Structure 1
Amino acid sequence: MTVALPQAFLRRPLAHRALHDVARGRPENSRAAVQAAVDAGYGIEIDVQMSADAQAMVFHDDALDRLAEGEGAVRAVSAQALGQIPLKGGTEGIPDLPEILSLVAGRVPLLIEIKDQDGALGPDIGPLEAAVAAALADYEGPVAVMSFNPHAVMRMAELCPEVPRGLVTDAFDAAHWPIPEARRVELRAIPDYDRTGCSFISHNWHDLDRPRVAQLKAQGAQILCWTVKSAEDEAKARKIAQNITFEQYRAPLPA
């Protein structure tokens, strides 16, 4: 079953990893960045990784080192302990998904990217998707889920079929994707869109002229894109994409 992406996701630009700005004490995916996005009226894109006790933590990287005052794999640490590890550039620990859902409370569209847990965008998934589905069980408001891993999207279709879902897509070049070449070639063609029951993709904006993107748009897919970093690039991206994920500038809101 395909669930349409609510129009709210097409009206408000989506703040990438929330409206983060370390210089202002708002790290990526932090409560402060989420609150700032809500206050500004933006939609929000966040990421979830899995803790050692299979909880959904709002954090981008699979390792702590870049973003938090810790080191090693996120999935090696319990949710409670992760909550005590300070985010670099802020004053708070790593939030879990239920906390962020309570903070957003349906006031703006929320797009949740489920980070790959397989390591090669393969079928070794499950606990993180279950944690996301459990957190969303009673959530009211515009929300959608997506992943680079089609297996994760398919699992979400099984766990919460009423939640709109999409694929995060890319050119999958070797420099940025250390996975087998055959898998990169396969994913580049976006072959899983229909079987996963998606209603949208979020595609690398630098690669929006890919014929497969045009084909999906023609068949009714909503086209979002990542990650726009200037007004000039936004103007280019919007020639194809119906909405953007942005950072490093303030994308204009609709009147």
Structure 2
Amino acid sequence: MPAWLTANPIAHRGYHDMNRAIWENTLPAFQRAIDAGFAIECDIHLSADGVPLVFHDDDLQRLCGRDGAIEDLTAAEAKTIAVGGTEATIPTLADLLDACSGKVPLVIELKASRADPVAFAEATLAALSGYDGPVALMSFDAALLSALRKAGAAQPLGLTAEGKDEEALAAHWKAFAIGLDFVSYYYDHLPNEFVAGLRAKSVPVITWTVRDEDARRRTFLNADQMTFEGFDPRQSKPL
């Protein structure tokens, strides 16, 4: 497993300012992370015409103030829709790759969706084809992770996860049997036997989403790196 995954703090949906002026999962947020030297976490959905779009929510209301599902947009339509009333619009994964150009690592979460897992996996890997920078892929959805593995993903694959009860942990072990490389876990559900077992096997563990010193402390007691937002981890100051 490459050391870059846990070498630096990971900016959650880019290094935004909690959606005051620089909005999550936009090119300005990603550029700000690049300038600060932070790795970037982002989310992708598959557009109506089969293009990975960088966006977290299933619908457009919270971020764009309009009705509709992100997966019903074409890539061309997405590029016309403002995020947070700013000049930034919904980027494609290709837009993010062009902006990043290998300067910092990318940790990309494929969101569970209506899209066929095989089509989503293949479109994601096609977008990444020829990209030389460090990239890891992750998802809550075991079917998407399995599709990525079967499609021949060369990138590290990880499980995004939460929960502490026996049923949840058993499901995580089952998903990990696909042949995964790391886990991204909800910090408030640490410690637990699943994560402890992975760390005993030297499997990298990152956490989400760290917003204060208590969450940071819990992360580094139980994991290797944090996905953060709302503060500058170099100074521990709120944005």
For normalisation by structure 1, the TM-score amounts to: 0.86
Gaps of 5+ in 1: 174-183
1:27–1:89 CA contact under 8 A, matched in 2: no
Match of 2:21 among 15, 21, 25: 25
Secondary structure of the structure 2 residue equivalent to 1:234:
helix
Alignment correspondent of 1:185: 167
Alignment correspondent of 1:125: 117
Q: 1:115 Cα shift?
A: 0.2
Match of 1:151 among 143, 152, 155: 143
1:227-254 Cα deviation digits (max 9, x unpaired): 000133202211111000000111129x
**Cα distance in structure 1, aligned partners of 2:162 and 2:5:** 20
**Cα distance in structure 2, aligned partners of 1:23 and 1:44:** 16
1:115-145 Cα deviation digits (max 9, x unpaired): 00159xxxx5222222111111111111100
Q: 1:187 Cα shift?
A: 6.3
The answer to whether structure 1 residue 37 and structure 2 residue 19 are counterparts is no
Please say which of residues 84-93 and 220-229 is displaced more in the overlay.
84-93
Aligned CA-pair RMSD: 2.0
Please say which of residues 187-196 and 106-115 is displaced more in the overlay.
187-196
Change (3 A) 1:187 1:154: farther
1:202-224 Cα deviation digits (max 9, x unpaired): 00000121111101111221111
**Cα distance in structure 2, aligned partners of 1:91 and 1:16:** 21
Q: 1:157 Cα shift?
A: 1.3
The answer to whether structure 1 residue 229 and structure 2 residue 229 are counterparts is no
Alignment correspondent of 2:198: 216
Match of 1:52 among 48, 63, 76: 48
The answer to whether structure 1 residue 171 and structure 2 residue 179 are counterparts is no
Change (3 A) 1:90 1:187: farther
Runs of 4+ with deviation above 6 angstroms: none
Higher helix share: 2
Secondary structure of the structure 2 residue equivalent to 1:192:
helix
**Cα distance in structure 1, aligned partners of 2:124 and 2:83:** 22
1:7-52 Cα deviation digits (max 9, x unpaired): 1121110000011125652111000000000000100000001111
Q: 1:150 Cα shift?
A: 0.9
**Quick one: which amino acid aligns to residue 24 of structure 2?**
E
Gaps of 5+ in 2: none
What percent identity do the matched residue pairs reach? Answer: 34
For normalisation by structure 2, the TM-score amounts to: 0.92
**Cα distance in structure 2, aligned partners of 1:187 and 1:129:** 25
